[in-house]
Structure 1
């Protein structure tokens, strides 16, 4: 993954799903799996996702795991009548995901604002200190 600057991110055209990648660090496949879960009427198993994505079960599981870790997907246990269980996955509502992304963005903005203030404080003091020092010349 190549790191981009904030300026580069602002200059490129972002789509809705790109926000998941940008904010949660999800790759393109993860974003497609999220969209698949978002469009499904009922929860999907890992096997369902693998079949619909035409990929290995382990690949689907890795994407679902990243989506779970990002908090945009939930896991539900379904019990069999005679014992045993399996998991289904569904996306959280778009409102919940959007609210969480807004909260993360606000937290990031506050943290960056603090860093900018520290930068300004540090380097403005250094400038004042340098102005008090005698100027040395090279002869």
Structure 2
């Protein structure tokens, strides 16, 4: 828990807020955290999380755009390809979240100076 002023926050709440994630996004993020060194397809994520494939596809795209997931192309034997995803190193994710937190703190500081 992170204690801020008069409220305590669980770290998953901080991550969810900092990255502007939905509940579905967090469910998928938790899936990756449980298996951090495995590559996943959106189909396998949908099956394992019991989420709709289109929801998984949107969430995975968002997590990739936010820099949390690595994306790779997997070429299929009979032609075509599929994308696979893996969680980035936790230190990289921490850096992304801390940059957001620092920006927020700077904004609070600026607001207090103009108060």
TM-score (norm 2): 0.81
If asked which structure has higher relative contact order (CA below 8 Å, sep 6+), I would say 2
**SS in structure 1 at match of 2:38:** coil
Q: Which runs of 4+ in 1 moved over 3 A?
A: 9-13
**SS in structure 2 at match of 1:76:** strand
Deviation readout 1:71-95 (Å, 9 max, x if unpaired): 2122111123453211011111111
Q: Map 1:63-102 onto structure 2 (within 5 A).
A: 63-81=59-77, 83-102=79-98
In the alignment, structure 1 segments of 5+ residues that lack a partner are 1-8, 121-139
**TM-align CA RMSD:** 2.0
Q: Tell me how far apart the structure 1 counterparts of residues 92 and 53 of structure 2 sit (CA, whole Å).
A: 28
Q: Tell me how far apart the structure 2 counterparts of residues 11 and 69 of structure 1 sit (CA, whole Å).
A: 33
TM-score (norm 1): 0.69
Q: In the alignment, which of 48, 53, 69 is matched to residue 57 of structure 1? A: 53
The corresponding residue for 1:133 is none
The corresponding residue for 1:30 is 25
8 Å CA contact retained: 1:34, 1:73? no
Higher Rg: 1
**When the two structures are aligned, how many residues end up with a matched partner?**
111
In the alignment, structure 2 segments of 5+ residues that lack a partner are none
